[in-house]
Amino acid sequence: MSDSEYQKPSTHFGYAQVKPEQKAEKVGEVFHSVAAKYDVMNDLMSFGIHRLWKRYTVELSGVRAGGKVLDVAGGTGDLSAAFSKRVGPTGRVVLTDINASMLGEGRARMINEGRVGNMSFALADAEKLPFASDTFDCITICFGLRNVTDKLAAMKSMFRVLKPGGRLLVLEFSKPKSRLLSRIYDEYSFRLLPKMGEIVAKDAESYQYLAESIRMHPDQETLLAMMEEAGFEQAQYYNLTGGVVALHRGFKL
C-alpha cells in the first residue's frame, strides 16, 4: 500500500486542500476578519442585487404569521429580519451561525432594529444543529452552504429538525448558464473582488477565498441531487441573474 493511501482524506478551502477538521477553523478566520464590513461588501459586490435574491427567497418560503423559522449561517441577519416581520409576535425566528463574530454582528443589528421580541440566537454548526427533531416550518441557509465542510451532513441535519410539510431553501452562488457571462463573472471575481476587499475590508485574501469557494461549490444539478439524497422531495432550483446565484427548494413530506 502506498504512502498516499495512508493519508487522511482532505477537503477544499478555496482551491487549497486541507484536512476536514482544519476547514471550519480557516473559514472561521475569514469571517472573523470580514464581519464588521460584511454588509457593506455585500452591497458593493452584488451592486445591491443580493437584496432582490433574498426577497425572492422569502417570497418562496411560504412562511406565515406564527411560523417558526431557522436561519442557518444567518450572519448579520438579512433574512432573519425579513422573517421576523413575516411571522409576527406569535412566531419565532432563530438566527444561527458557527462564527461568533458574525453572530455577534447579527445579534447587535437585530437589537438595534428592535426585532428581538420574536427572535433568538444560537452559535451552531450546520452539520450538527442543536435542536429537537421536527421543530421548524422553514429553514434557510443563505450564502453559507459553500463554507460547510460536509454539505450532505448539513442538509441531513436540517432535514431532521424540519417539521413534516416544511421546506428548506438554499440560496447560494452557482454556475452561470452563459459562457459569456461566465467569462465576465470570472474576470470580476478574480480581478476586482479581491481589490474591493483590500480597499473596503482591508482583507484581499478573504475575498480571494470567496471567489475560489464559489467555483468549488457544487453546480445546480449536483446540489439538487444532494438535497434528494438528504431526504428532500419535490426539490427544484431557480436560476437567478443568469445562474450566478441559484435558489434551491425542497420539502420534508
All structural domains of the chain, each given as residue ranges with its CATH number in brackets, are: 21-175+219-251 (3.40.50.150)
Q: Which three cell numbers stand for residue 240?
A: 437567478
Grid cell 482524506 — which residue?
Answer: 9
Helix (H) or strand (E) holding 44: helix 38-46
Q: Can you give the pLDDT at residue 223?
A: 97
Euclidean distance between CA atoms 69 and 9, whole angstroms:
35
Q: Can you give the pLDDT at residue 194?
A: 83
DSSP string, 180-238: HHHHHHHHIIIIIHHHHIIIIIS-HHHHHHHHHHHHHS--HHHHHHHHHHTT-EEEEEE
Contact (Cβ atoms closer than 8 angstroms) between residue 50 and residue 68: no
pLDDT digit of tens for each residue in the chain (253 aa)?
444 343 446 787 667 776 877 777 766 776 767 777 777 778 888 889 999 999 999 999 999 999 999 999 999 999 999 999 999 999 999 999 999 999 999 999 999 998 889 999 999 999 999 999 999 999 999 999 999 999 999 999 999 999 999 999 999 999 999 999 999 989 888 888 888 888 887 888 888 888 888 888 999 999 999 999 999 999 999 999 999 999 999 999 9
Q: Can you give the pLDDT at residue 26?
A: 66
Grid cell 470570472 — which residue?
Answer: 186
Euclidean distance between CA atoms 40 and 155, whole angstroms:
29
Euclidean distance between CA atoms 237 and 37, whole angstroms:
30
Cα-Cα-Cα-Cα dihedral sign, residues 187, 177, 52, 101: negative
Contact (Cβ atoms closer than 8 angstroms) between residue 204 and residue 195: yes
